[in-house]
A and B are shown apart, each in its own frame.
Chain A
Amino acid sequence: MATEPTTELPIIDRFGPHLSRMAGVRLDTGAEPDKLVKTHCCFCGQQCGIQLKVKDNEVIGFEPWEDFPFNKGMLCPKGVKRYLQGSHPDRLLSAMVRDGKAAGGFRNVGYDQAIKQVAGAIERIQREYGPDAFGMLSGASLTTEKTYLMGKFARVCLKTSNIDYNGRLCMVSAAAGNKKAFGIDRAANPWSDIPKAEVLWIAGSNVAECSPITTSYVWQARENGAKIIVVDPRITPIARTCDLFLPVKPGRDIALFNGILNLMIEHDWLDHDFIENHTVGFDALAEHVQQWTPKRTAEVTGIAEKNIRQAAEWWGQAKTSFLMHARGIEHHSHGVQNVLGAINIVLASGRIGREGCGYATITGQANGQGGREHGQKCDQLPGARDIANPEHRAHVAKVWDVDPDSIPGPGVDAYEIFRKIDRGEIKGLISLCFNPKVSLPDNAFVQRCLEKLDFYVAIDFFLNETARHADVVLPGSLQEEDEGVVTQIEGRVIKINKAVECPGDAKQDWRIIQDIAKALGRTHGMTFSGPRAIFEELRAASKGGVADYSGITWEKVEQNYGVFWPCPSEDPEGKPIDHPGTLRLFEPGTWNPIAKGAGPFYFPDGKARFNVAAYSPPTEDVDDEYPIILTTGRVVSQFLSGTQTRRIGPLVDQYPEPRMEMHPRLASKLGIADGEWATAESRRGTCTLKAQVVQTIRPDTIFIPYHWAGRKSANQLTISAQDPISKIPEYKVCAVRVKKADGPPAYDAELEAQQ
């Protein structure tokens, strides 16, 4: 039923993406803003502090916020131009229902009527097929309050176990690996530790384009004399001036980490005291990595042996170090193993939990941290509690004032939700700020599933490519139209402040969710007066959990430029305290609710775990038929599925269309010159783009950025293989063949660059 209601061009014509540019009041040099609102960027996980200039309920520009300690006024181009999304011509201002006869396939309806229709559909589907037949997908850019509400709405109001979020596509491998090794899932250190480290190991992270502010910390480390080791199949801008570049063959990182550990053991570059006192499981791991001789490591990773030895020597002998990784090692069908491999070399060095000694995954999405800690992830309840654990369920059930047995059990991951739709087990879907048709792998499959749905309601502020399939669209809110907290890359809880009111019939997402609950007649626990009230309940629900926010208040956040979690409100004896927050995890002597004083790590014995991280090749290795590796990633001026950034003119100008990056050696073999059209084909789809011939990529690998939709989408090609533990998809490697295209693809004549 949820096929697109019309062909593509009429939808694009009405809903965009159209480009917004500086014009009118935004170009008026004399325009004095009514106010400056201190808030944060709406895009990546760094959550830069920024001040929005507001005039007449419109965001007209920005002013750097130089006091904010993380970014000190620095911004990337997305932060600079984000204000252009407000008052955008594509902005959804009214509720809509699908109508094949209307322009663009949708007809505006009254908000109340749309809510009634949504509630009616939920009621009907759940009555006919049971509560689990209605699924939910939400976003990791939402405030923590909204994500908490989404989790509660799913479990208390809809009573469905089928809720998951798009952080699934982002950092879940890191989260799972961190929990297995440390018992807690958070970047272990503040970024101020980076410049104090002697060696930086950056694995699978295009820091310059995906987390630009972090480069300032990295370059400062370099000025202070640090050695920088970058592992990546491409010479990204951060790799350009590193001290050692290891061009790993995509999907082979675990072999590299095992090889490094093997050399650390051979040369006794280990912290024996730390291993003895603070960890378990080293011996089994040591035995396992024996097979990872430098020679074999080199063969598997494709990195020259002498460079592997050099990396091990620098890493092994350092006094202080910081290891960071991102999606490059996490987006794999063995992403968790990669993460565990990285953690193993950190633990073996004993360099964690001290100043200048750190480890972190680089959060991708705005609220990648807070967004999963408080209950929209299919297996978690607020406070990073485990939904299958009876004690955890009981705690949250009490806060929610429901019977613990009424809380559904663990659901399935975002991709599996689509497989359930495919199998007819899920008939109805509600989504909030999630664009799976662009962001999930093998998106032809995703489209087929959307078309199978009985009923689909999308809440969003622009009509993203997935929402085009909706039966009902509810106009949600931009980040600047609401308030609440998010947790950024370092684990710092910060406050988003409201700058303008929602336009037209658009509403804050928490209102929309509660309005649906009301129309369903299931208002229990769904009558919050606003984000502050939601946050107060969230504090109680997280209390005593690993992600303890109970000692955090909005006031404390604003006064201190953020508060690092965990921040309990009680001391170990149960007396109220004003906890300052936890800047650095795992410092000796720190208390946590799991170890209860036994040690700094979040296990009952207080010790970290070494895990044997076993190597396996990518699910789809290259062969004669598909001989080239495809890897995907980002460009600096675009963000995720591009719902926002493909609408901002200056950002589109900066990188107008996706390009297929390839090495000259590969290009000459294929007879493709720079700028010519090339077609990449995988077992799942075909994509024709202009080639960009550069020596900064491995000759056996091509790269395509994934921010574009439809026929320009990299995810037509990618594989839906997933990590068995984290369920993250294997975006970073699949097999393709590439040939020169006969000429421009058909879409070139009709579609704008950003579409």
Chain B
Amino acid sequence: MPVPEHFDFFVDPNRCIGCQACVQACAECDTHKGRPMIHLEYVERSTSTQTVPVICMHCDSPTCAEVCPADAIKKTGDGVVQSARKPRCIACNNCVIACPFGVPKMQSDFELMMKCDMCYDRTSVGKRPMCATVCPSGALFYGTREQVEQLRPRSRPINTFQFGHQTITTKVNMMVPAGPGGTPGSSSAEYVDVTSAMHDESAAGGSGKRVRLNVLEDSLFQFESDAVEEPDDAATTT
């Protein structure tokens, strides 16, 4: 039974609370023997509690599969990109290096690339993926586009990503703020420009492309006059 076509996967880092329930639950899946296929990244723990869950985006044209010399990575007809096939995988790491989202992981003791297969054992029988089921904040969501649009009027799902000159479309959607100040429906962005978000410092505040890090700024405090301390540049970096 294929994964139902009208069910999509949505990732909303804005909701993520860094609890790692997804990581702990993914390790419970039958197919990957106690290892999580999702990982969690702090954007910059020294200045923020912002975390980002990273799962396989299940690209329409998966770079990992395209670069695999052994043709070990298969995409099923319903758009799910699978872990490498054990008999074929030569543990060369090409996929690990090539994936723009940093997803595949070499499991050196198995000499096998393993990655999120969207809980194929669950989704193919009508269950929801483990991580998206347990995620307590709704940062991971599996359901229909109508459901997500109804539940999340201030965000919109985007599944087109720009990496330099490469455009990638995916089965998994990122939830991005709907528009300036969260006004529903007023965003013009049709894709997430990953490269410029990573490098364009001037984008901060302006286009909203760059992740804004909340830090304790002096403007939040009332300092007693004698308690004002030497100014600290680090505290105002955003």
Residues on A lying within 8 angstroms of B by beta carbon are 21-22, 27, 29, 61-62, 64, 66, 71, 73-77, 79-81, 208-209, 212-213, 215-216, 219-220, 222-225, 235-241, 245-247, 298-299, 301-305, 307, 636-637, 650-651, 654, 663-665, 668-669, 674, 693-700
Beyond A247-B216, A664-B235, whether A694 also contacts B134 by CB under 8 A is: no
Bound complex: CA A698 to CA B229 (Å): 13
In contact, B21 and A240 (Cβ under 8 angstroms): no
Which residue from B25, B47, B128, B151 sits with its C-beta under 8 Å from A80?
B25
> In terms of DSSP, what is the predominant structure of the interface of chain B?
loop
A239 neighbours in B (Cβ, 8 Å):
49, 214
In contact, A237 and B49 (Cβ under 8 angstroms): yes
Q: A223-B152, A697-B216 are in contact. List 13 more A-B contacts (CB 8 A).
A: A29-B33, A62-B28, A77-B23, A80-B24, A216-B136, A216-B138, A235-B48, A247-B216, A303-B220, A674-B46, A694-B46, A695-B47, A695-B48
In contact, B153 and A240 (Cβ under 8 angstroms): no
In contact, B133 and A637 (Cβ under 8 angstroms): no
The segment from B2-10, B12-20, B68-76 found at the interface with A is: B12-20
| Closest residue on chain B to residue A698 by CB atoms | B216
In contact, B48 and A696 (Cβ under 8 angstroms): yes
In contact, A81 and B24 (Cβ under 8 angstroms): yes
In contact, B234 and A636 (Cβ under 8 angstroms): no
**Can you name 25 A-B pairs with beta carbons within 8 Å?**
A22-B27, A66-B133, A73-B133, A76-B136, A80-B21, A80-B24, A212-B17, A215-B15, A216-B138, A223-B154, A224-B153, A236-B49, A237-B16, A237-B51, A240-B49, A241-B14, A241-B214, A245-B214, A247-B216, A247-B221, A664-B232, A664-B234, A674-B46, A693-B46, A694-B46
In contact, A213 and B153 (Cβ under 8 angstroms): no
Which residue from A80, A307, A665 sits with its C-beta under 8 Å from B134?
A80
* B34 within 8 Å of A (CB atoms): yes
List residues 82-107 of chain B with CB under 8 A from any CB of chain A: none
**In the complex, how many angstroms separate the beta carbon of B137 from the nearest chain A beta carbon?**
4
> In terms of DSSP, what is the predominant structure of the interface of chain A?
mixed
In contact, B48 and A27 (Cβ under 8 angstroms): no
Residues on B lying within 8 angstroms of A by beta carbon are 14-21, 23-25, 27-28, 30-31, 33-34, 45-51, 128, 130, 133-138, 151-155, 214-216, 219-224, 227, 229, 232, 234-235
Which residue from A62, A212, A245, A305 sits with its C-beta under 8 Å from B222?
A305
Bound complex: CA A6 to CA B163 (Å): 62
A22 neighbours in B (Cβ, 8 Å):
27-28, 34
Beyond A236-B49, A247-B216, whether A636 also contacts B20 by CB under 8 A is: yes
Bound complex: CA A31 to CA B49 (Å): 39
Beyond A216-B136, A247-B221, whether A695 also contacts B46 by CB under 8 A is: yes
In contact, A222 and B216 (Cβ under 8 angstroms): no
In contact, A29 and B31 (Cβ under 8 angstroms): yes
A216 neighbours in B (Cβ, 8 Å):
136-138
B136 neighbours in A (Cβ, 8 Å):
71, 74-76, 212-213, 215-216
**In the complex, how many angstroms separate the beta carbon of A225 from the nearest chain B beta carbon?**
7
Beyond A76-B136, A81-B24, A304-B221, whether A215 also contacts B17 by CB under 8 A is: yes
Bound complex: CA A22 to CA B109 (Å): 17
Beyond A247-B221, A696-B216, whether A222 also contacts B154 by CB under 8 A is: yes
**In the complex, how many angstroms separate the beta carbon of B150 from the nearest chain A beta carbon?**
10
A298 neighbours in B (Cβ, 8 Å):
222
Bound complex: CA A299 to CA B221 (Å): 9
Bound complex: CA A456 to CA B178 (Å): 61
In contact, A235 and B49 (Cβ under 8 angstroms): yes
In contact, B21 and A75 (Cβ under 8 angstroms): yes
In contact, B151 and A212 (Cβ under 8 angstroms): no
Bound complex: CA A224 to CA B136 (Å): 18
In contact, B30 and A29 (Cβ under 8 angstroms): yes
| Closest residue on chain B to residue A81 by CB atoms | B24
Bound complex: CA A699 to CA B227 (Å): 11
In contact, B24 and A299 (Cβ under 8 angstroms): no
**In the complex, how many angstroms separate the beta carbon of B81 from the nearest chain A beta carbon?**
21
In contact, B138 and A220 (Cβ under 8 angstroms): yes
**In the complex, how many angstroms separate the beta carbon of B87 from the nearest chain A beta carbon?**
18
A225 neighbours in B (Cβ, 8 Å):
154
A64 neighbours in B (Cβ, 8 Å):
128, 130, 133-134
In contact, A240 and B134 (Cβ under 8 angstroms): no
In contact, A220 and B134 (Cβ under 8 angstroms): no
In contact, B216 and A212 (Cβ under 8 angstroms): no
